[in-house]
Amino acid sequence: MDIGIDLGTSEVKVVLVDDAQRVVGQAHSAVLISRLQPLWSEQNPHDWWAATVDALAQLRVAHPQAFAAVRGLGLSGQMHGATLLDANNNVLRPAILWNDGRSHAQCAELEQRAPDSRRITGNIAMPGFTAPKLLWVEQHEPEIFARTARVLLPKDYLRLRLTGEAVSDMSDSAGTLWLDVAKREWSNAMLDATHLKRSHMPRLVEGSEASGTVLPKVAAQLGLPANVIVAGGAGDNAASAAGIGVAAPGTAFLSLGTSGVFFVANAAFSPNPARAVHAFCHAFPGTWHQMTVMLTAASALRWLRNATNAESEAQLVAEAQALPEGTAVPIFLPYLSGERTPHNDPHASGVFFGLTHDHGRGHLAQAVLEGVAFAFLDGQQALLDGGARIDTVTLVGGGSRSAPWAQVLADTLARTLDRRSGADVGAALGAARLARLARTNERVADVCTAPPMLDSFTPRTARTDLLAGRHRQFQRLYGALKSEMALTPPG
């Protein structure tokens, strides 16, 4: 029996998984975000621990016998957050989260200090990453920086509370900009650029390796058995991949959530920072992954629902489906929150192009479905340009429940997309699977299997050809409007 703990931005989610890989129980506990100033996003690490204790208590009450049989525990979490501790492991300030944007200037400074940063880390320096946050702290809170003895990622703070050990895994650490991602070790050059040393960093393990055991006093507090092994774990996307069987090179998942992610497992480090592709270590030894991120995906349809007073997003999709075959619809640029891959453009904004008196809400809905798919196609091309091999793709996320949207994506990407059962459990299930690997030393291929298939969506050649032409126009429109977007203040 294993437990997976996923520390998300809004909640801690825990799952209890038996030896047959059935999810026996789940529990959640909310965590609040503090936004004291524009661009700031912070959380109190003590709140993470309190929410974890609460969620595990719920699980213990609901499933006492299974809880008592737990032998492994895995951790997943929101990436990039900077948790600063003093020499006695006391928290020095609220953690600065992945979606905090205050360190834009420090990103440029970091790349100037470390000219080889993109080669070493495989990524463009962005405010979401951890290292620029420490430059900001050094410049704006020097007394805090001077007292900082250790920097931990969010899930690794939970590990410290559980085991007393300062440890991180490769996949999460790859998102700090301190890791030499190809070598899977801390980079002295990147640490020097932020005036830190290896002593500030946790010990590194693979995600499927043991990182320690739960302390006896903590086990007693939580009601866990003695000597529960804690796995290295993973960042949230790598853990989600473990949960849905995206482990072997060439396997991939596409997440149609509030934002969008296209994640593919690789046999080698394959960076493409020029196209804003993230290249990270995977949760398993000798495996890496590439990932594209689009900032607005399913949330674009939610925005249209609110803007047009539609009853639901399903109604919008139905109205789009009711359009006669061959109906002309506008082109939609889905950059409602700027864009990351492939443009890395915070000034990018949303656009409907080609509106006429003949267009109604259904036409706008179809344009949104296609526009989000076009942005994913941009991401797919960036992955392929970076050396990715994509053999199979599992479609996940809230938007994936829409079969018509899934078909639009398949047609646009010219690629079969599979939907699988249990994909919603995601990162917490992946963390539990990593716990099992850490305590049993089984083969990754035997544990991190794909859930049963629900259905598949196969591209239709005629639609793919039509959408390819519209995608080329989509790309030309962004190119033509980019300079104007930069001159237009948001809001």
Q: For residue range 284-312, what is the model confidence (pLDDT) as tens digits?
A: 999 999 999 998 899 999 999 999 999 99
Give the Cα separation of 52 and 433 in Å (integer). 19
Contact 17, 76 (CB under 8 A): no
Reported as a single tens digit per residue, the pLDDT across 221-263 is 999 999 999 999 999 999 999 999 999 999 999 999 888 999 9
Nearest to 448 by CA among 248, 306, 301: 248
Q: Can you give the pLDDT at residue 118?
A: 96
DSSP state of 401: G
Which of 419, 259, 413 shows the shortest CA–CA distance to 340? 259
For residue 45, is pLDDT > 60?
yes
- Taking Cα atoms as reference points, which of 230, 72, 246, 222 lies closest to residue 155? 230
pLDDT reading at 424 higher than 90: no
Confidence grade of residue 9 (pLDDT, cut at 50, 70, 90): confident
What pLDDT is stored for residue 357 in this prediction?
96
What pLDDT score was predicted for residue 346? 82
Residue 152, classed as helix, strand or coil, is: strand
Helix (H) or strand (E) run with residue 117 in it: helix 117-121
The pLDDT tens digits of the residues spanning 123-164 come to 999 888 999 999 999 999 999 999 999 999 999 999 999 999
d(CA 477, CA 252): 29
Cis, peptide link before residue 249, omega less than 30° from 0: no
pLDDT band at 79 (very low <50, low <70, confident <90, very high): very high
CA atoms of 175 and 279, how far apart (whole Å): 9
DSSP state of 199: G
**318 CB neighbour count, 10 Å cutoff:** 14
Give the pLDDT band of residue 345 (cuts 50, 70, 90). confident
Integer angstrom CA distances of residue 416 from 24, 94, 253, 419, 458 = 32, 44, 12, 10, 5
In 295-404, at which residue ranges do the beta strands (DSSP E only) sit? 331-333, 351-353, 392-396
pTM over 0.85: yes
Alpha-carbon span 397 to 258, nearest angstrom: 8
Q: What is the DSSP letter of 9?
A: S
pLDDT number for residue 90: 97
Query: Could you tell me if 282 and 289 are in contact, meaning their C-beta atoms sit under 8 angstroms apart?
Result: yes
With DSSP H G I counted as helix, E B as strand and the rest as coil, what are the percentages for the chain, rounded to 5? 40, 20, 35
Place 414 in a pLDDT band, splitting at 50, 70 and 90: very high
Q: Are the C-beta atoms of 456 and 250 separated by less than 8 Å?
A: no
Peptide bond into 459 cis (omega under 30): no
Half-sphere exposure of 316 (CA within 13 A, CB side): 26
Distance CA 289, CA 281 (A): 6
- DSSP 8-state assignment for residue 91: B
pLDDT of residue 489: 57
Catalytic amino acids? 236
Tell me what the pLDDT averaged over the chain comes to.
94
Name which residue leads in pLDDT, 488 or 408: 408
Distance (Å) of CA 245 to CA 125, 145, 208: 30, 40, 14
In the three-class reduction of DSSP (H, G, I as helix; E, B as strand; rest coil), residue 47 is classed as helix
Write down the pLDDT at residue 490. Answer: 52
Structural tokens at position 374: 């076009």
Whether 39 has a pLDDT exceeding 90, the answer reads no
The per-residue pLDDT for range 354-412, each reduced to its tens digit, is 999 999 999 999 999 999 999 999 999 999 998 899 999 999 988 889 999 999 999 99
pLDDT, greater one: 219 or 400: 219
Closest CA to 404 of 423, 391, 392, 419: 419
How far is it, in rounded angstroms, from Cα 210 to Cα 354? 56
Q: pLDDT band at residue 30, thresholds of 50, 70 and 90?
A: very high
* Residues whose CB is less than 8 angstroms from the CB of residue 47 and which lie 6 or more positions away in sequence, other chains included: 31, 32
Average pLDDT over residues 329-340: 93
Sign of CA dihedral 86, 89, 95, 97: positive
pLDDT at 423 over 80: no
| Over residues 265-276, mean pLDDT | 90
**Rounded to whole angstroms, how far apart are CA atoms 287 and 289?**
7
CA atoms within 13 A on the CB side of 433: 30
Q: In whole angstroms, what is the distance from residue 51 CA to residue 239 CA?
A: 20
**C-beta contacts of 326-330 below 8 A and 24+ residues apart:** 327/363, 327/366, 328/354, 328/358, 329/354, 329/359, 329/363, 329/364, 329/366, 329/367, 329/370, 330/354, 330/355, 330/359, 330/363, 330/364, 330/367
pLDDT, one tens digit per residue, over 180-198 is 999 999 999 999 999 999 9
The confidence band for 207, taking pLDDT boundaries of 50, 70 and 90, is very high
* pLDDT of 459 over the 60 cut: yes
